[in-house]
Amino acid sequence: MPQHPIVQKIKFERTFCMIKPDGVKRAVIGDIIQRFEKAGLKPVAIKMFVPTEEQVRRHYPMSDEAWVARLGEKTLSSFDNIEADAEEVLGTIDKSILGKNVADSLVQFMTSGPVVAMVLEGIQAVDMVRKLCGHTLPFKADVGTIRGDYSVDSPAVANVEMRAIHNLIHASETQAEAANEVDLWFGKDEIPTYDLSADAVMYSKYY
């Protein structure tokens, strides 16, 4: 019996994630991929490369002034609970300027070394990958998540040092974002279709 289109869409949803330069240099690539596979997610495309500045600026909405300003707001908020004056440390409290500085630091970080980009497929893959990665701020990420187990970085420290936060991995937030990011980083001929022996156990009514 043919499966309902909604079931097909949920079961074979695809998402994008990228192990950042700090994750590559920490030598946890295999551990991260294994976590996705153990959860039942299927890697359907993987590649390692050094991103260009143009690619990074296309990946993040750096031309969106509101997005840049929100980066500035987050930077200022990271000083709320530390004994340091944001303006004294950063030289300004202008959200747009701070946001641009953060964006530039992010570009510098993401182009500093190789990354591992991948497309993962599986039941509600977007939400599953986000859950496995944990909170984007490592010090808030739960134990058992990728960021919670492999990173302890803090935005306060990163902002004082005027660098990007080292949180190991990027994961798409929505299905629309995932589709855009997959198209940005992978060509259609780079994503093969294949079956796993575990598919019957994961997805079939009877096995």
Residues paired with residue 120 on neighbouring β-strands, in sequence order: 15, 43
Tokens in use for 41? 């997610």
Counting every residue, how long is the chain? Answer: 207
| 166 noted as active-site residue | no
CB 46: neighbour CB atoms within 10 A?
A: 15
- Asked whether 20 and 172 are in contact (CB, 8 A), the reply is no
What is the C-alpha separation between 195 and 117, in angstroms, rounded? 21
Residue from 110, 129, 93, 101 nearest 53 by CA: 110
User: From the candidates 4, 135, 166, 170, which is the catalytic residue?
Assistant: 170
- Give the DSSP H/E element, type plus range, for residue 87: helix 86-90
Residues belonging to the active site: 170
